[in-house]
């Protein structure tokens, strides 16, 4: 058996988030003409959010993904390295790095336009070259967004199979409820493979085919060894064996919830890898995720100092 070296290997999408918004003119994107917006921001996004958050918390992490052979791909890798993440990014000559265009409306509504680009070309062969990372890790994380197209879908399933063979635990976030609806069998398969299931309430409802919260809990209780249902401002519901723990979130002024789910996953994995009691895992995950919602962008993590003092408080409260 290989010695464990990483808390988590994150496999998935290399994405930039490009925000444009608060249009003064009601005619957005005037056809054939020029429109102006009064807010814009380009930020690192994609599955690297989970690796970045985990590294900031003090976890040892690595990231596997595919980018275009362009300056954006290189910058994404450079940024993860700067944060202390070990990287295995493959480069595709024929496609650009993925990006998500996020249009913010004045009323708080957000519309997404996703260009997956090079991400879809992550192959089984690429995963084969990354096995040394997977087998040296406690957890492997992936999300349903990376199931969008072949060959990436098969590559992710190969990573999951490799994780199983090497006793690396699998964390799976389905990503979005409409993805489950279009291919329920695939998401059921991923749920059966995983050790930690991280749906939000809509996704949990979709996969269990029920809208009643108690029914959702009963249906998911005996599926994965641990399930954490993310409930937005209401925090999360953790289920391990027969135990069901509801953990309320923190009262924050939510400005942009992009990346809240990813931040939640980072902190939950950190808590599990460090054997925190279950309720503390939920509290840390809620706190870390709630902080991210207070500014625009998925990687507005709290400072290292705030993280240290929050964890210290959690530990003191346990005594």
Ligand X SMILES: Nc1ncnc2c1ncn2[C@@H]1O[C@H](COP(=O)(O)OP(=O)(O)OP(=O)(O)O)[C@@H](O)[C@H]1O
* Stretch of 90-98, 101-109, 180-188, 258-266 contacting Mg ion, by CB under 5 A: 258-266
Burial (0-12, 13-18, 19+ Cβ within 10 Å), 264: buried
* Stretch of 7-15, 90-98, 266-274, 282-290 contacting ligand X, by CB under 6 A: 282-290
Tell the smallest beta-carbon distance from residue 169 to ligand X (Å).
Answer: 20
Residue 274 binds ligand X, judged by CB under 6 A: no
Rounded Cα distance between 110 and 258, Å, is 10
235 interface partner picked from ligand X, Mg ion, none, CB below 5 to 8 A per type: ligand X
The residue (of 130 and 200) whose beta carbon lies closer to ligand X is 200
298-307 per-residue burial string, b: 16 or more CB within 10 A, e: under 16: bbbbbeeeeb
Residue 164 binds ligand X, judged by CB under 6 A: no
Q: What is the DSSP string of 247-270?
A: E-------S--TTHHHHHHHHHHH
The residue (of 134 and 196) whose beta carbon lies closer to Mg ion is 196
115 interface partner picked from Mg ion, ligand X, none, CB below 5 to 8 A per type: none
Residue 84 binds ligand X, judged by CB under 6 A: no
Residue 232 binds ligand X, judged by CB under 6 A: yes
* Stretch of 13-21, 54-62, 94-102, 286-294 contacting ligand X, by CB under 6 A: 286-294
CB 3 within 8 A of CB 88: no
The residue (of 136 and 230) whose beta carbon lies closer to ligand X is 230
* Stretch of 59-67, 69-77, 125-133, 248-256 contacting ligand X, by CB under 6 A: 248-256
Helical residues (DSSP H) of the chain, grouped into ranges? 48-57, 71-82, 124-128, 131-134, 152-165, 177-182, 184-193, 201-208, 213-221, 260-273, 278-292, 304-318
| Binding-site ranges for Mg ion (CB under 5 A) | 261
């Amino acid at each position: 058996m290989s010695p464990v070296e990483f808390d988590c290997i994150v496999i998935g999408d290399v994405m930039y988030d490009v925000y444009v918004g608060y249009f003064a003119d009601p005619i957005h994107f005037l056809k054939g003409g020029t429109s102006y917006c009064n807010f814009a921001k380009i930020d690192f996004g994609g599955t690297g959010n989970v690796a970045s958050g985990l590294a900031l918390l003090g976890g040892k992490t690595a990231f596997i993904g595919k980018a275009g052979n362009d300056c954006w791909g290189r910058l994404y890798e450079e940024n993860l390295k700067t944060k202390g993440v070990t990287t295995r990014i493959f480069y595709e000559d024929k496609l650009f790095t993925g990006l998500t265009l996020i249009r913010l409306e004045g009323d708080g509504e957000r519309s997404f336009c996703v260009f997956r680009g090079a991400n879809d070309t992550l192959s089984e062969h690429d995963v084969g070259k990354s096995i040394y990372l997977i087998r040296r890790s406690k957890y492997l994380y992936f999300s349903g967004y990376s199931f969008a197209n072949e060959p990436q879908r098969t590559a992710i399933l190969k990573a999951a199979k490799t994780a199983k063979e090497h006793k690396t635990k699998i964390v799976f976030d389905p990503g979005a409820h409409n993805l489950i609806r279009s291919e329920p069998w695939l998401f059921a398969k991923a749920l059966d493979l995983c050790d930690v299931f991280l749906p939000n309430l809509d996704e949990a409802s979709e996969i269990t085919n029920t809208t009643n919260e108690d029914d959702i809990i009963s249906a998911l209780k005996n599926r994965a060894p641990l399930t954490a249902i993310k409930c937005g401002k209401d925090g999360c519901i953790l289920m391990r064996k027969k135990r069901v723990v509801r953990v309320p979130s923190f009262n924050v002024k939510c400005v942009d919830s992009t990346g809240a789910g990813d931040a939640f996953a980072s902190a939950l994995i950190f808590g599990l890898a460090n054997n925190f009691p279950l309720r503390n895992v939920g509290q840390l995950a809620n706190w870390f995720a709630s902080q991210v919602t207070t500014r625009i962008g998925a990687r507005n993590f709290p400072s290292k100092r705030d993280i240290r003092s929050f964890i210290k408080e959690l530990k003191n409260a346990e005594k």
